[in-house]
A = this chain, B = another copy of it.
Amino acid sequence: MEQSLTIYNSLSRVKEVFEPLHAGKAGMYVCGPTVYSNAHLGHARPAITFDLLYRYLLHLGYKVRYVRNITDVGHLEDEVEETGEDKISKKARLEQLEPMEVVQKYMNTFHRNMEELNTLPPTIEPRASGHIIEQQVMIRRILEEGYAYEVNGSVYFDVHKYNNHYRYGILSGRNLEEMQANTRRLEGQQEKRNPFDFALWKKATPEHIMQWPSEWGMGFPGWHLECSAMSTKYLGEVFDIHGGGMDLQFPHHECEIAQSTAALGHPSVRFWMHNNMITINGQKMARSLGNFITLDELFSGNHPLLTGAYSPMTVKFFILQAHYRSTLDFSNEALVSAGKGLERLMKAIALLEKLPVSPSASVDIAALEKNCCAAMNDDLNSPILIAHLFEGVRLINLIGEGKETITEEGLDRLKNLFRVYLFDILGLKPEESSAAGSETVRQLVDLTLEVRSRAKNNKDWTTSDFIRDELGKIGIVVKDRKDGTEWEMKN
């Protein structure tokens, strides 16, 4: 039986077989960051989740158009009430920069962090401020369809009217009547007919730095609109996959669905995918709780909650060890353990290159291949995939110890399996966090230990101890065993 990729569709709430709209091609849109501060742990999970999806679709042979936006305007401090300053304008005021200097600075950091995490760049990375016309065109279309109204130079989406024809709340499972019964959000919202209406276009006061002319006067687009406008522009009126963090389901994605459906007359997304959140020692991550850890802090260890630095690949492996729809709790213990697991995997990869082959095999690589493929096809089940890779590690070690055997062809397949699943699909890579990974360092340490071994044979204990002690000072720990000498670098 041929295996097919199944994806859990947040909209239908079941796993569905992924069939692309156009044979051989896949289109995916993922909500990217609002670039007003350094990328943090919360940015790493969607980035890694949808990188996994992108890499797997490429592996399956699809030509993938992967669009991930940069929000550089319209994201207000209070997302739900749609009040307060624009997040980027506020930072610009505090840092005494032009808003687009703030955007450039944090976009550059985000890109660097994404590269450190070895995630592939999207094929198109559109910016909200670069698509004002496209957003205005969509507003006009929604107005023409009768699902929006203009008040004092602002345009609001008419949720009530939309809900009469379509259903507002379809993604998040909410019901407008119930929501209205349970809300007290009315004060200061005089412009809105309904407290759940949301802005498509907001009138700008003169002191507002980012504003553009429109037929409704000077203003700026509402936060939800950019994704509807840019996904339609680059992926079409119907496209395959829309991804993002679970925290974006409501109101952001719900509003996206409403906007696109109102403008186009039909829904545009076939598969909605949402990654779950990361908690820190069991708590939600929030600036106010002091448990807000940026990726740079994580990689350098420079944060009071961290007992050490965690390399980008350790962080990535930690995230991939949980299924993307599961919650994931950050703790130093979990990260240390992820680092050790990754080290075991990478050590096995090194051993893999030196394994002896036999005329016949006692291990079954085909079964392993099938299991890895099945794990990925089951809604990108990376933790199960990793468990199978550890089964591969067990086989590698047994073959290395001479307790199992493998043929040359089997060994080629095993090497290929690790290359494909570990490097290409999971997107992990060997790290030279210390100089330990450097070939020259390895050769030099081996030479030094060879000289030491000669000294020991000559009973020259002074030289032997001198070498061990000096290596220790450099950070290289020497362990004498019965069957030889091992060494490792301290971190």
What sequence of 0s and 1s flags, for each residue 429-447 of chain A, a beta carbon within 8 Å of any chain B beta carbon?
A: 0000011001111011101
Distance, CA A450 to CA B104, complexed state (A): 50
Interface residues on A, range: 35 or more
Q: Are B125 and A440 within 8 A (Cβ)? A: no
A132 within 8 Å of B (CB atoms) = yes
What is the CB-to-nearest-CB distance from A169 to chain B, in angstroms, rounded to a whole number? Answer: 33
What sequence of 0s and 1s flags, for each residue 103-132 of chain A, a beta carbon within 8 Å of any chain B beta carbon?
A: 011001001000000000111111101111
Which A18-71 residues sit within 8 Å CB-CB of chain B? 65
* Interface residue SS majority, chain A: helix
A149 within 8 Å of B (CB atoms) = no
What is the CB-to-nearest-CB distance from A222 to chain B, in angstroms, rounded to a whole number? Answer: 17
Taking each of A121, A137, A440, which has the highest tally of chain B beta carbons within 10 Å of its own beta carbon? Answer: A440
Task: Assess A439 versus B435: contact at CB under 8 Å? Given A448-B448, A463-B454.
Answer: yes
A467 within 8 Å of B (CB atoms) = yes
Copies of this protein chain in the complex:
2
Q: Name the one of B97, B122, B127, B450 contacting A130, with C-beta atoms under 8 angstroms.
A: B127
A368 within 8 Å of B (CB atoms) = no
- Chain B hits for A212, CB < 8 A: 133
A100 within 8 Å of B (CB atoms) = yes
Distance, CA A109 to CA B268, complexed state (A): 32
Distance, CA A450 to CA B97, complexed state (A): 54
A234 within 8 Å of B (CB atoms) = yes
Distance, CA A347 to CA B262, complexed state (A): 67
- Chain B hits for A121, CB < 8 A: 104, 108
Distance, CA A444 to CA B445, complexed state (A): 7
- Chain B hits for A130, CB < 8 A: 127, 129-131
- Chain B hits for A434, CB < 8 A: 440
**Pairs A-B, 6 closest by C-beta atoms:** A130-B130, A435-B440, A444-B444, A100-B124, A443-B474, A101-B123
What are 14 pairs between A and B in contact, CB < 8 Å? A98-B234, A101-B123, A105-B123, A108-B121, A127-B127, A130-B131, A133-B213, A435-B440, A435-B441, A438-B438, A440-B474, A444-B444, A451-B463, A451-B467
